[in-house]
Structure 1
Amino acid sequence: MPIKGSIEDREEVRVLHARYCLSIDTGRYDEWIDCFSEDGVFESPRFGKHSGRDGLKRFTAMYKESLGGAQVLHIVANPAFELDGDRGTGISYLLYYHCKDGKVQQCTVGYYTDKLRKTSAGWRFESRQVTILGHH
């Protein structure tokens, strides 16, 4: 099956995945919100569904509080996505490490299901839904 989307578009989506993880893990929440389209939606089983800039901002406040000072790492692996013009869909694995007092206290695994959209600012997540398969 031929791969759709230019090399540049595909690389921009790969960078978007990395920017998503790096920004939330370093507490740069405005940058994390910018990974989404203006009407973007984030949904997780733990935190619920959050829509638009205001909703995403509320999510980041809840998320920050839930960390209790822990350092976290989101790792996205095996990103597989299809682009068609200025839209796309994708799925990628999620490995989530929760580190406190020098020890990994929790590791969650799951995957993201994405809708992608090319905006005037570049590729963004139109929606990103987290499915959790297990946690320790």
Structure 2
Amino acid sequence: MSTITLLADRIEIADLFTRFARLLDEKRWEDADTVFTDDVAVHSPRSGEIRGIDKVVGFMREAEVEGEGEHTQHMTTDLLVDVDGDRATASANSLVYFYRDGQAPHLTSGLRLACTAVRTPAGWRLRESWTMLAWTHEK
């Protein structure tokens, strides 16, 4: 694999994490196929294990932050990507701010993310994702 291909893959996988965060924050569930494979498996403290893109999207819709004007902002940091051909592992930290329109966050969470990504004809997609809660701070 050339250095240029490896760098391009790493950039696309970094963009994949950004698309995932934006999908959650902007509630763009119709764009889930730009992030996940059809047979994705998601593991998290809130959902347990969910398999299949339709079930994952259904859970995300149901788990939307409730309350008028309440939003999230996911910030992904410390991304580490290891590409091996058409498969990659990636991990990152994520800070999630829960806030209401025009107000400072009232809840913040620190997460650790681990994912397996695969190259598809449409580009890199997450095939499996693990989210681990590291901490939560309520104001």
Q: TM-score, normalised by structure 2?
A: 0.87
The separation in 1 between residues aligned to 2:25 and 2:118, in whole angstroms, is 23
2:66 maps to 1:67? yes
Q: In the TM superposition, what whole-angstrom CA distance separates every residue of 1:66-87 from its partner, at most 9, and x where no partner exists?
A: 4334110111101101000000
Q: Which amino acid aligns with 1:31?
A: D
2:128 maps to 1:123? no
Secondary structure of the 1:104 match is: coil
Asked if 1 retains the 8 angstrom alpha-carbon contact of 2:88 and 2:117, the reply is: yes
Asked if 2 retains the 8 angstrom alpha-carbon contact of 1:16 and 1:123, the reply is: yes
Which residue does 2:47 correspond to in 1? Answer: 47
Which residue does 2:7 correspond to in 1? Answer: 7
In the TM superposition, what is the alpha-carbon distance from 1:104 to its structure 2 partner? 0.7
Residues 5/128 of structure 1: CA separation in 2 closer, same or farther (3 Å cut):
farther
The separation in 2 between residues aligned to 1:6 and 1:120, in whole angstroms, is 17
Aligned residues between the structures: 133
Identity among equivalent positions (%) equals 24
Which residue does 1:23 correspond to in 2? Answer: 23
In the TM superposition, what is the alpha-carbon distance from 1:129 to its structure 2 partner? 0.7
In the TM superposition, what is the alpha-carbon distance from 1:32 to its structure 2 partner? 3.3
Asked if 2 retains the 8 angstrom alpha-carbon contact of 1:92 and 1:113, the reply is: yes
**Aligned-residue CA RMSD in angstroms?**
1.8
Q: TM-score, normalised by structure 1?
A: 0.89
Secondary structure of the 2:22 match is: helix
Asked if 2 retains the 8 angstrom alpha-carbon contact of 1:110 and 1:131, the reply is: yes
Q: Which amino acid aligns with 2:106?
A: Q
Please identify runs of 4+ aligned residues in structure 1 that moved more than 6 A.
Answer: none
Q: Which amino acid aligns with 1:23?
A: L
